[in-house]
Amino acid sequence: MKKNKTKKNILLVFGTRPEAIKMAPLFLALKKNSNFDVRICVTAQHREMLDQVLEIFSINPEFDLNIMSKGQSISQITANVLEQLPKVFDNFMPDLLLVHGDTTTTFSASLSSFNANIKVGHVEAGLRTGNIFQPWPEEANRRLTSVLTQLHFAPSKLSKENLIKEGIDEETIFVTGNTVIDALFIALQKIKDNKDFVRGVNDEYPFLTEHKKIILVTGHRRESFGKGFENICKALLKISDEFEDLNIVYPVHLNPKVREPVNKHLKDKQNIHLIEPLDYLRFIYFMEKSSIILTDSGGVQEEAPSLNKPVIVMRNTTERPEALETGIVKLGGTNPEKIFSLLKQALQDIPVDEIKNPYGNGDSSIKIVKIIEDFLDN
């Protein structure tokens, strides 16, 4: 076990694209602090989409478990992380291990740290739906991680209250905002500074420059597999038929349980553009160009208020009620009629005034670094 005698060792562990987006600005902020020796371990729970984000933020992980395999189960992911992460600890023993959110990587890395008597910091802690099966398996992952965590970085006061209700010591909970807003502002600046990038994206996707409103769609949640995605497709077909002057743009997730129903129902519609998944910068650019977003993504719910974009959440519950309270985010479930009705209303009521984002103004990483510094000093 190698341990720097003068610096505190910090290890960030993540495995999916959303985790990488939200951990990247925190990693960059930690690297600026001379008191820390900071390393990254990726599990590669999602390989291709993860690597795209790492490239954008110029991050090269020191450790790569590379666990992704075709058709892998949640149990396989958990077992692989539990087996391989201790080998990383043999090489670099952290004083603090940081995980993010609610993935299987998050829970598995936290459990592995507990087994090695390593303290855990949980970024984006305290989100709850109250239903352990929605979203599945994320709700269980985040609850289990909270039990194993010593530092809880809650994105909002409500998240802090959720943790207190579960018996978490209030002194270990810190309201920091969400690092996804930090990442968003970094991405927006990169886009603004790169005119060749903008020109290239517009050339690649000519419909972006057509004089039509764009409806951006994302969907990937396991809880919607099967009937849920069938209903989402019905809603998009109805929108397509009713509003021929719209362009519906759907970057289709790589999971076959998403791609099969989407391609089956939507591939032949003239105003529905099914495209391959976008890298992070392209996706932010698409969000900026869109009029309305239909999604089941948590990150999009958090980012949208900063971009002043109406969002219809295609889930029955959300662990981000703060976004709903802004009025710019609406809960549509997977009911085709409700999704259509909310979209029709949103087209009439596109916001003009800027919305204050309840998840912060882009300084969450700085706050977290200061809290970690104080914690490790004491």
Is 51 labeled as catalytic in the residue annotation?
A: no
What is the rounded CA–CA span in Å between residue 167 and residue 170?
Answer: 8
Q: State yes or no: is 102 an active-site residue.
A: yes
DSSP, res 355: P
**308-316 long-range contacts, Cβ below 8 Å, gap at least 24?**
308/351, 308/354, 308/355, 310/346, 310/349, 310/350, 310/351, 312/339, 312/342, 312/343, 312/346, 314/219, 314/224, 314/232, 314/235, 314/339, 315/134, 315/135, 315/221, 315/223, 315/224, 316/134
Regarding beta strands 151-154 and 173-175, do their DSSP bridges make them parallel or antiparallel, or are they unpaired? parallel
Q: Beta strands of 101-200 (E only): which ranges?
A: 119-123, 151-154, 173-175
- Catalytic member of 19, 37, 95, 102: 102
Whole-angstrom Cα distance, residue 337 to residue 181?
Answer: 32
Residue 250 to residue 98: CA distance in whole angstroms: 33
Residue 250's alpha-carbon distances to 199, 245, 258, in angstroms, are 21, 16, 11
Active site residue 17: no
Q: Which structure tokens are listed for 319?
A: 């662990």
Both tokens assigned to 50: 């993860």
CB 240 within 8 A of CB 269: yes
Residue of 37, 138, 139, 322 marked active site: 138
Cβ of 101: how many Cβ atoms within 10 Å?
24
List Cα–Cα distances, 265 to 232, 234, 240, 262, 312, in angstroms: 10, 8, 12, 6, 21
Catalytic residue among 220, 221, 273, 320, which?
220
Tell me how crowded residue 212 is: count the other CB atoms within 10 A of its CB.
16
Cβ atoms of 266 and 274 within 8 Å: the answer is yes
Catalytic residue among 64, 161, 253, 288: 253
Tell me which of 51, 161, 222, 259 is the catalytic residue. 222
142 is catalytic: no
* Candidates 37, 124, 139, 223; catalytic one: 124
Residue with tokens 């090269």, as numbered in its chain: 60
Q: Which residue type sits at 75?
A: S
Both tokens of residue 329? 């985010």
* Catalytic residue check, 325: no
State the residue for tokens 């087994």. Answer: 115
- Cβ distance 85 to 105 under 8 Å? no
Q: Respond yes or no: is residue 124 known to be catalytic.
A: yes
Active site residues: 102, 124, 138, 220, 222, 253
